[in-house]
Amino acid sequence: MANKGKNFAITMFAVLGSVGMIAFLSLLFFPGLLGTQTLGGSGGGVTTTVSTASSVASAVKEGTDATLQISAYDLVSTTPTTRVASTLYAYDVDNKELLKNGASLSASASTNVDTTVGTDFVIGAFDSTYYGTLKSVTVTKTAQPVVLDNFKITTSLNVKTYDDGSALNTSNIMAISSNAEQSWDKIFLEENESNRAFNLKGFGLDLPTATNITDWTVNGKDSPIVESASMPQRLRTTLDFYFVLPESRMLKSWDTYNTGNVLFKSGGNDPVTETATLYIIDESNFASSVDKTLKSGVENDASSPADVGASDITRTVTIQ
């Protein structure tokens, strides 16, 4: 009997030891069994949180009243951690409703938008003073901060045209004979204001009525520039040619941009001196007049479209 009791004790010890080892290995390799498991890629990659029953139970219930606390910061400012006053737009994706349509965004405190947990939003702050990126937000907290990125819009650009390696004078003279081709090396842009930005989208050319220029092409250098299939409506009676970047390029303080070569072609008439206008056009966001969503473009979609963002920047081109 003594040996039998001893054998039983040894057996129980072995069983308990095995259970303990299984529990230890479970916690080591499957920590999510008792809580939340975080999986992160090396080098600070995307982090995925796997919620378990205990963590889901503590989540805020969908439909609970909530508040978005919105602030905007100017990323090209010397003090990018200071709030700026801008114009707020908050589109409720689920209810297809523009809850904030041009409301004032405070520079002294966050601006609140009342909503419910689980609602999806697209939010931005933009006007004639600031560009603003659009941010997609899902409400997950009863009090949820939202930080928006703004960029103060420049009032001028340094614009130069180059031919045979040298910058042309302020008249940007293009000498071209009849039935010929002539080109500039490039159009050079520099955002030459401190703490400002220009969101470049395209280039246009306005020719006089009696022009001898039959074609104009702006080529890309480090990225494509393509002729647009449609002219901005507000410029249809103004521009003869319009080329765009597939994606806009944000030029911040002292950033530069170079096109590839710019080609002019002439017709058979005798050359005459004529004055054309080069347009440099930006892109910005706007609240749609059609469906109240937030969109981007070189003009809004009102019945009579208006410019958005910076005013068009122009330079004279003398063709002779």
The predicted-structure confidence for 123-149, as pLDDT tens digits, reads as follows: 999 999 999 999 999 999 999 999 999
How far apart CA 276 and CA 294 sit, in angstroms, is 35
How far apart CA 302 and CA 287 sit, in angstroms, is 10
Give me the pLDDT at residue 289, please: 95
Per-residue confidence in pLDDT tens, the chain, 320 aa: 444 444 444 444 444 444 444 444 443 444 444 343 333 333 333 333 333 333 333 478 999 999 999 999 999 999 999 899 999 999 999 999 999 999 999 999 999 999 999 999 999 999 999 999 999 999 999 999 999 999 999 988 999 999 989 998 878 888 899 999 999 999 999 999 999 999 999 999 999 998 999 999 999 998 899 999 899 999 999 999 999 999 999 999 999 999 999 999 999 888 788 999 999 999 999 999 999 999 999 999 999 999 999 999 999 999 98
Give me the pLDDT at residue 14, please: 44
Q: Which residues neighbour 274 within 8 Å (Cβ) at sequence distance 6 or greater? A: 207, 208, 210, 211, 212, 213, 318, 319, 320
Pull the structure tokens for residue 190.
Answer: 């520099």
On the question of a common fold for 65-152 and 158-319, the answer reads: yes
- Taking the mean position of all CA atoms in its chain, how far away is CA 160? 26
Sheet of strand 86-92, all strands in order from the earlier edge strand to the far edge: 97-105, 86-92, 120-125, 135-138
Please tell me the number of Cα atoms within 13 Å of 286 on its side-chain side: 21
Domain range annotation of the chain: 2-36+49-57, 65-152, 158-319
The predicted-structure confidence for 265-274, as pLDDT tens digits, reads as follows: 999 888 788 9
Distance of CA 177 to CAs 26, 212, 272, Å? Answer: 83, 9, 9
Contact 276, 211 (CB under 8 A): yes
Give me the pLDDT at residue 313, please: 96
Q: Is the dihedral of CA 59, 64, 65, 69 positive or negative?
A: positive
The CA-based angle 13-14-15, given to 5 degrees, is 90
Fold (topology level) of 65-152: Immunoglobulin-like (2.60.40)
Domain 158-319: give its CATH code: 2.60.40
Give me the pLDDT at residue 174, please: 85
Torsion, Cα 234 240 244 248, to 10 degrees, reads -40
Considering only CA atoms, give the Rg of the chain. Answer: 31
Contact 113, 100 (CB under 8 A): yes
- The pTM of the full predicted model, rounded to 2 decimals, is 0.80
Give me the pLDDT at residue 173, please: 86
